[in-house]
Amino acid sequence: MHSALNFRFLSELLTGDIRILFFSNLVGSFGDGLYAYILPYYMTDSLNASPVEIGMLYATANVCAALTLLAAGVLADKYDRKKILILSWIIWLPAPLIFASAHNWVQMLPGMLLWGTLFGQPTSTAYIVTTVHKDKLTLAFTAISSAWSLGYVFSPAIGGYLAKTTGMQPVFFLASVFYALAGVLFFFIRKQVPAKHTQRAPEKDCSKLRFLKNRKLLVLSVFFGLIMFAILLFRPFIPTFLADVYGYKSFEIGVLGSFFFLGSAIVGIALGRVGDKFKKSYALAAALALVGSSLVLLLLFGDFNVLLVTHLLIGCSYLAWPLMNAIIGSCAPEKARALWIAIPQSVSMFSAVFAPYLGGVLYEASPYYPFIFGIVATLLLALLALAKLRD
């Protein structure tokens, strides 16, 4: 009965433009999941990239993400957010095609730059905050995030199977098709042009600067930067760890990746309700604690059945971003909403620029080191979220 009420609540939430956002995420993530989870394994197995080189590629994507988040925040406070959302998928379209034609890890760099372009993140966050009632905001963000995760439930296994039977090139081409479909869906949402304010330009600029010079914004930016650094230090190396330490191949790794995102979808809805009913910081702390606990299981048990459960829990690492958006979005001022949201997102990505590279260095020393770091960091950050973070 309680579960039925949850899904009825979700169906009431997912109406109109939010429903289109949900399905665009679902379609786009299915395409992304065909290759994203096994991409580090592909870089190692087919392109002979070392862990440090893999870290450099992901660091490149994170630099691009940090820069484009700020640019998107500025644009989304001035122009129609619908057009920016469409643009975000157009930019992603060539990335998997570049990956398909790469013969070494250096040739992957242009694709990683495009893949790291995140115009859609602050734009969609501002769009959701403007559209959804505040009392349903956390669930809205975790529901949209769950759509992304649901797209990954089957696609990593399908991508792994296709990679095993036909090679990775058809997988990359198929991913581009789904990116295009996700962008087409955004043509059906309503325009959302930020409200024009009547004050003169210098006054408007001063007002926006006043909003940005805020202690709360600074604290949130630093805190979320630490969270993303901790997560992105170990997460790109999970598929490689499964291959190197436990001997799994692309198909098995793809299946585990499916459970990774299934866990994110299931737990995300539950934590969204927790965040709206109690405190958003409670939901964030719970997600971080589950991540740390799951990494302990990953290091201790290589049995496939245990790893399925482990990956369900590790999927919570993808909930940090939507929960962060819910916390920031709920206190973002309307006059600078997208930029206010973009700053912690951008700081998070800047702080994570060196995380994959450092993870690669640690991995070369021992495959266990990045995950030991992740265990300690996520559990400490969970305690900090409980003790210090306020909604």
Closest C-alpha to 125, from 368, 356, 345, 376: 345
151 or 341: which leads in pLDDT: 151
pLDDT, position 19: 85
Domains, the chain, with CATH or none: 12-189+206-387 (1.20.1250.20)
Residue reference for tokens 């790291």: 116
Cα separations (Å) of 214 from 143, 206, 388? 29, 13, 17
CA distance 108 to 57: 8
Alpha carbon distance 162, 34 (integer Å): 9
Compute the half-sphere exposure of residue 312: CA atoms within 13 Å on the CB side of its CA.
Answer: 8
Q: Where are the alpha helices (DSSP H) in 46-136?
A: 51-76, 81-92, 94-101, 109-115, 120-131
**Which of 236, 31, 241 has its CA nearest to residue 154?**
31
| Model pLDDT for residues 329-372, shown as the tens digit of each residue | 777 676 666 777 777 878 777 777 778 888 888 998 999 999 99
Q: Amino acid identity, residue 32?
A: D
> Which H or E run contains 278?
none
Q: What is the pLDDT of residue 301?
A: 92
Q: Out of 112-116, 137-141, 190-194, 316-320, which region has the weakest mean confidence (pLDDT)?
A: 137-141
298 compared with 1, residue with greater pLDDT: 298
Which range has highest mean pLDDT (156-165, 282-291, 313-322)? 282-291
Mean pLDDT of 126-139: 77
| Under 8 Å between Cβ of 335 and 197 | yes
How does the average pLDDT of the chain come out, rounded? 82
Residue 1 pLDDT greater than 50, yes or no: no
At 321, list the tokens: 């971003």
Of 45-54, 201-210, 249-258, the one with minimum mean pLDDT is: 201-210
pLDDT at 96: 95
